[in-house]
Amino acid sequence: MRIAVAPAALRLPIIRHLMGWIGCVSAEQASMRRALANGDNVGLYPGGIAEMVRTVGNVERLVLLKRKGFVRAALEQGISIVPVFVFGQSVVFGQLPLPTWVETLSRWLRASIVLPYGRFGLLVPRRLPLLYAIGAPIACPRTPSPTPAQVDEVHAGVVAAVQELYDFYKGIYGWGDRPLLLE
């Protein structure tokens, strides 16, 4: 499995080498399509920068409703999409609240600008259990030129699957009252 990371992370000398050693690929469409064409599986966080800067401590927020490029790529390659929700990942680090214009700046720079903190106010994650909820694969029949309707149909299935995962496992994780906001 190759994890898709922000292109900016692959431009920083030490970070670039670390990411290369663990097999990361740029989150740019061309890089991910190349990895998929080579037979690699790619782990992608569709929310990207927007999701990072919009994280708040009392709500789970996913930026997913308008993110359809990964669905189009999966249809073009004929690769299944496996929905995953990781409970606890949004609270292992807190972040200082920043003005709303920071998201615009982050998108322009193609790198997230956040001020995270964990244990003791440091860049050390809080010691919390994580629960990985993994859904059933969503088949994407190979469609070299998928129509918007085909993309929308599969995308709706992905959104519904993520919502079902959250609803099913939130009580088990102890988040029965914590809402999931899909943007």
The pLDDT of residue 53: 67
| Burial status of residue 129 (CB atoms within 10 A of its CB: 0-12, 13-18, 19 or more) | exposed
Identify the sign of the CA torsion 58, 156, 160, 38: negative
pLDDT for res 141: 95
How much is the pLDDT for 15? 86
pLDDT of 123 reads 83
Residues of the chain with pLDDT under 70: 53
Q: β-pairing, 2-5 with 42-43?
A: parallel
Mean pLDDT of the chain: 89
Tell me what pLDDT residue 59 has: 86
- Residue 121 is predicted with a pLDDT of 84
Q: Amino acid identity of 175?
A: W
